[in-house]
Amino acid sequence: MIARRLLQLVDDDPTCHDRHMSSKAQRLIADAVITCRAAVEVHRPGFIDVDADGRVKRSGSLADAPPTEDAVTRMSGLLMPGLINSHAHGPMTLLRGVGDGLPLERWLTEAIWPREGKLAPGDVAAGMLLASVEMLLAGVTASCEMYFADDELLDAVDASGGRVMCTPGVVGVAHLANFYEPTGRLAEIATLHASRHEPEGRLRVGVAPHSAYDLPLAVVDDLAGLARDLDCPLHIHIAETGDEGRDLEEVHGKRTVEVLAERGVLDGHVLAAHGVWLNDAEVELFASHGTHVAHCPKSNLKLGSGVARLHDLITAGVNVGLGTDGVASNDDLDLWQELQLAPLLARGTSGDPTRITAEQALLMATRRGAEAIGMPDTGTLTPGSWADIIRVDLSQPAFTPIITDDDLVDRLVFAGGSRYVTDTWVAGQRVVEAGVSTMVDTETALADAQARAERLAAAV
Ligand SMILES: [Zn+2]
């Protein structure tokens, strides 16, 4: 009810919708094109037709391409959908690696939150700009962000040319005191959605309670209600560590996922970050509610949180994307590492090399991740989807020899990496060209982040 009342208060501004960068209709031809439709689909050689709005008109094997009057660009290498980072806290680039070696609770309360408390909106903007550039250079074209100073975060992604699902974070220590007031976080999120959300654009807005262990359940309920009313994703940390649900379990006699399911929190589009410590019943609850999971294997390994039951989640029918988490616990935004770790861990911990194929992993990093973050119009080169494309240089030892289509998919996952990404397009516009951002003066962005991080370190 509260969510609905707020929605009536903040008027929708239609002039802010459907804004995106313009580009010219063009045909891209490459040695190989991967489309990531229902299956990965390899076309050698392949083509992608992009319309003037920056959407894919058609894609496939060059032999099937109809005649075109659009500008044609031929290139060597592979064109494929940009990768999707389904769980990140981009502005934490200013805190890269901070608190290494501490367990999660102490890491949050002693290292991270005291520093985040000192972040000014300008710091968040600088941190997000650095994060956006880092991701675009690595071929990651969209991310799902949980943070604060949301306007600045959106502006930074906009400046970089990237795509974002910005889910304003709600954290107990920062937002509970005046949560329901007209100037509180609940109203702030509804206002942000009304003023900045572009239903089909590069900048979209969701909702993000940090976790059920950090916030009163009533607050989680109201945020879930707001997300359902806005028809946007609810992004929440669930079961990252084995201990985090203990207090909830003592009070309710049930585990976190069961409590959330009973309260209706899982009824909308829910993206659960981590999902490491789930029992069979919780995996089933995720599957029956259509809950999406952001699998963050590197962050989980670095913080010693464990290894998620990826194979069990997928077997149960849960949609899983890949996430880096924040760079304080990673320490980078290079999703190619998660792409490689996900199948390696699933196989290594089970002793079963048939678990998580290269194709499954690649789909998690692209189309499935896009679905998880509520942006199914990216992560694939299906007609109508956004032309968010990356070029991978195949003239490298890591990609030699390639005999079959399966070889290419296998090499991308197990031998590939961000170092082979040369160019990135978002909505048909080339935002990285030959390894250089066309949108941001990277040297200045790095210097600004460095100076701000130094001031922050001195203040804590
Ligand atoms: Zn996180």
pLDDT tens-digit readout, 332-368: 999 999 999 999 999 999 999 999 999 999 999 999 9
User: DSSP letter at 211?
Assistant: B
If you measure from the C-alpha of residue 128 to the centroid of ligand 1, how many angstroms do you get, rounded to a whole number? 15
Give me ligand 1 centre to Cα 171, in Å: 12
Q: Is the peptide bond preceding residue 401 cis, with omega within 30 degrees of 0?
A: yes
Q: Give the distance (Å) from ligand 1 centre to CA of residue 89.
A: 6
Whole-number Å distance, alpha carbon 78 to ligand 1 midpoint, is: 32
Q: Are residues 183 and 251 in the same domain?
A: yes
In angstroms, rounded to a whole number, what is the distance separating the alpha carbons of residues 315 and 27? Answer: 38
How many whole angstroms separate alpha carbon 425 and alpha carbon 371? Answer: 20
Domain that holds residue 36: 21-82+381-437
Of the candidates 322, 339, 372, which is a domain's last residue? 372
- Count how many domains the chain has: 2
Mark which of 339, 372, 405 sits at the end of a domain. 372
Tell me the CA–centroid distance for residue 53 and ligand 1, in Å: 33
Residue 274 C-alpha to ligand 1 middle, in angstroms?
8
CA 273 – ligand 1 centroid, Å: 7
Phi and psi torsions of 149, nearest 5°:
50, 55
Rounded distance from Cα 70 to ligand 1 centre (Å):
43
Residue at 11 is within a domain:
no
Tokens of 257: 């996922």
| Domain assignment present for 454 | no
What CA–CA distance (Å, rounded) separates 149 from 85? 20
Distance from residue 390's CA to the centre of ligand 1 (Å): 26
Q: What is the predicted pLDDT for the residue at 417?
A: 98
111: phi then psi, degrees, rounded to nearest 5: -105, -45
Phi, psi of 125 (to 5 degrees): -60, -45
The distance from CA 156 to its chain's CA centroid, rounded to whole angstroms, is 16
Q: Return the closest-CA partner of residue 188 out of 153, 236, 142.
A: 153
User: Both 168 and 61 in a single domain?
Assistant: no
The answer on 344 and 228 residing in a single domain is yes
Measured in Å, residue 242 CA sits from the centre of ligand 1 at 15
Domain assignment of residue 445, yes or no: no
CA of 329 relative to ligand 1 center, distance in Å: 9
Q: Are residues 153 and 212 in the same domain?
A: yes
3-state secondary structure (DSSP) of residue 29: strand
Contact 385, 55 (CB under 8 A): yes
Q: Is residue 318 part of a domain?
A: yes
Q: What's the full length of the chain, in residues?
A: 460
| 205 and 259 assigned to the same domain | yes
Nearest Cα neighbor of 43 from 74, 78, 82 is 78
Dihedral sign of CA atoms 196, 200, 204, 206 in order:
positive
Q: How far is the CA of 278 from the centre of ligand 1 (A)?
A: 17
Tokens 């990140």 correspond to 88
Tell me, in angstroms, the distance from the centre of ligand 1 to residue 310's CA.
Answer: 18
Pair 39, 155 in one domain: no
Structural domain contains residue 192: yes
Cα 449 to averaged position of ligand 1 atoms, centre (Å): 21
Partners of residue 49 on adjacent β-strands = 27, 58
* Statement to judge: residues 36 and 109 lie in one domain: no
74 & 90 share domain? no
Span from the CA of 88 to the centroid of ligand 1 (angstroms): 6
Judge whether 396 lies within some domain. yes
Q: For residue 27, how far is its CA from the centre of ligand 1 (angstroms)?
A: 38
Instruction: Point out the residues of the chain with pLDDT beneath 70.
Output: 1-23
In terms of DSSP bridges, do strands 270-274 and 234-238 run parallel, antiparallel, or are they unpaired? parallel
Give the pLDDT of residue 22: 52
Phi and psi of 132, rounded to 5°?
-65, -45
Task: Report CA(146)–ligand 1 centroid distance (Å).
Answer: 7
302 in the same domain as 203: yes
CATH of residue 417's domain is: 2.30.40.10
The set of residues, in sequence order, having a beta carbon less than 8 Å from that of 387 and lying 6+ positions away, is 23, 48, 50, 54, 55, 56, 381, 425, 427, 428
* Torsion sign, CA atoms 404, 406, 411, 414: negative
Residue 13 inside a domain? The answer is: no
Taking the centre of ligand 1 as the mean of its atom positions, its distance from the CA of residue 50, in whole angstroms, is: 34
Residues 208 and 280 in one domain: yes
**How far, in Å, CA of 243 to CA of 245, rounded?**
6
Kind plus residue range of the DSSP H or E element containing 130:
helix 121-137
Distance (Å) from CA 162 to ligand 1 centroid: 20
4 C-alpha vs ligand 1 centroid, how far in Å?
28
Q: Are residues 315 and 413 in the same domain?
A: no
Distance 55 CA to ligand 1 centre (A): 31
Q: Are residues 293 and 430 in the same domain?
A: no
Q: What separation in Å is there between the alpha carbon of 102 and the centre of ligand 1?
A: 15
For residue 211, report the distance from its CA to the centre of ligand 1, in Å.
10
Would you say 47 and 413 are in contact if contact means Cβ atoms under 8 Å apart?
no
CA of 52 to the centre of ligand 1 (A): 36
CB–CB of 73/435 below 8 Å? no
**How far apart are the CA of 424 and the centre of ligand 1, in A?**
26
Whether residue 77 lies inside any domain: the answer is: yes
Question: How far, in Å, from the CA of 58 to the mean position of ligand 1?
Answer: 36
Q: Which CATH number covers residue 348?
A: 3.20.20.140
The residue type found at 298 is K
Per-residue CA distances from 285 to 212, 223, 289 (Å): 16, 20, 6
Give pLDDT, residue 23.
67
